[in-house]
Structure 1
Amino acid sequence: MTPGSNMPLSVARVTVDVTAPVRLDVSGLLLTADGKVRSDEDFVFYNQPQGPGVTHRAATAGSPDSIIIDTAAVPAEIEKIVVTASPDAPGATFAGTEPTATVRGAEDGAVLATFTPPRLDTETALVVVEVYRRAGAWKVRAVGQGYANGLAGIATDFGVSVDEQPAQPAAAAVTAPPVPAAPPAAPAPGKVNLDKGRVSLRKNETVSLVKGGRPLTHSVRMGLGWEPAYGSRAIDLDASVIAYGPDRNMIDACYFGRLMILNGTVQHSGDNLTGEGSGDDETITVHLGGLPPEVTGLVFTVSSFNGQRFTEVAKAYCRLIDDRTGEELVRFDLTGSEPKTGVLMCKFIRQYSGEWEMTAMGEYVQSRSVRDLVKPAAAAL
């Protein structure tokens, strides 16, 4: 799963494991429609392991800290259960640590979904996933929202009473570490759709390719453009798109040497050797409704065939265009540059509902051809 994506749960009882190279404290909070707990009893963690329909299972030598959710036993007024994690070591952050949530069927252990929140840094606690009720059915959503003030910051945000003193082992009340002065880390930017016209994205922002309540299923065109930086010579960059399956396995790649893939549902305009001239330098057309069902992700990339670095490039951008009308739908202008030879510009992710989401990336990598981009693009999905 990717941040913001969701999928329905096929079983009533699920276990959410959260693993990392370090020991974690995992908890669950039962929230009503106003996004708050009803009382401190709705905060389920190591010191209070039982709640209505929700159980905390402490880590053992063979299993990680987990939250077990029996959706059939969750009270009717509870609309979601958020699963959180924080490093067990005092003051530790998630910098250099990649936690992964695995949602399993509680009865058979079958994996239903996995999610690894991207780009963590100084966060000391994290809302990892949420299991929520929608129209009588239960779903899971990948969240990945970080907090700089630990589990106490999450708890107070959701209405739990937090003691100012450290918890004592025999305490009956719900307690958590003292709240530092630092505010919560900013949440990931909200997801928007195309209803209000053209969307301008910044790095890591996401737009749902939905207009008027309907997912786009016709052809769209990804235009990629660049100009040589002032004083630089002409630069030969190559646009490409790599198609992946649900396990981040590469299915095919479309680039100047392979102008059509996937039975013609993805087509490349051809190679631009200089980057000169206004407008898009290379375009890639994608018929969203015709893509094979095994294609769940597309990563659009640009690489420097002659090894010139992106510090020699100006005004690099990508823009999504409605191929029927020529209307520009989404634009991402790449700001800043790094002395590397490739960049992951944006990605499309197919949601369980069938709609596609586009996320601006702007991640620089070392590459001179599409072959060099396959692994870093897969890791970025």
Structure 2
Amino acid sequence: MFGAPVVVREKDLILKKTLLLIDGSNFIFRAYHALPPLSTSTGTPTNAIRGFLSMLRVLMKDVPTDYVACVVDPKGKTFRSEIYPDYKANRPPMPEDLSVQIPLIFEGVQKEGIPFLQVPGIEADDTIGTLTKKAVEEGFNVVIATGDKDFAQLVNDNVLLVNTMGKDNSWLNSEGVEKKFGVPPEKIIDFLALMGDKIDNVPGVPKCGEKTAAKWITEFGSVDGVIENAEKVKGKIGENLRSALGFLPIARQLVTIKTDADLSAEVPSLESLKLKTPNRTELLDYYNKLEFRSWAKELKKTDVPGEVKPLETSTTAQKRAAVGAAPIEGDTLDLFSQEQESEVERTLEIVTD
């Protein structure tokens, strides 16, 4: 989790359209481990499916917007494996009971009306990074839903991280990133390179944790500065640093999220990422197939024949806070509609440590 909340005063906010980018790959594994084994009467595992869709429902209420993309990793290797052949080489095979749920999760996302992206050869991180940059350039605010600290490098005045899945409803802005990690967003890449990433099998400096990495960056400015001053670092950690010098530039490449991937075929414009209206009949069949009885019962109450409202509509969005005035820990703030271009002063509860 991202820590405990502090109150930050934000002035002169002009509310904008918001793009919500969901780190689907991160959500899938969290959902799988969050629930005990569940299955249909015919033996199809459903715990990850149920958990994932439940997480989406919570998220869409906490970050209401009409522009959304759920992004997942593609199959196969990406450009990082060309840079470093052992990238992600230590990952165990996906559990079989999760593997069989993956296509059904993807199907569910699409039937719920949420735009879904799985770009061949491009990791979810890079798709999200590229969409974040494009959205900010086009005047959007961006909320990235994830539990992965790598995305802290993308945070700026128009980009927040949100981690709503847990006992805390957690947000990080630029100040929050610096208070949590000890370095600002623009230094996160160097911070990550020094520590390495065990999950992705990216070697860093052995025994270098967050505090040491932040200390070195504060003192020397960057990975390049650390390399140039490596002889000044004493003790065993200094020896570890000097042993890792040759790989640090590669580590920095590996942990850098691309923001210029070619997504022209998948996302011709941000308008293609607007929530879609689900087909009621297809969604009901999907719920029934997976024996999600409570959701099926809820859906049957829909009055509109053939169609059902998306998980979160602009009507609901107009009742809640925009990204610039993000609610936290169940707090609901009044939302100014997108047409109201008035400047506002709002107290934000942004999570830091």
Which protein has the bigger helix share? 2
Larger Rg over CA atoms: 1
Where on the TM-score scale, by shorter chain, does this alignment land: which range?
under 0.3
TM-score with structure 1 length normalisation?
Answer: 0.24
Instruction: Name whichever structure is richer in strand by fraction.
Output: 1
TM-score by length of 2: 0.25
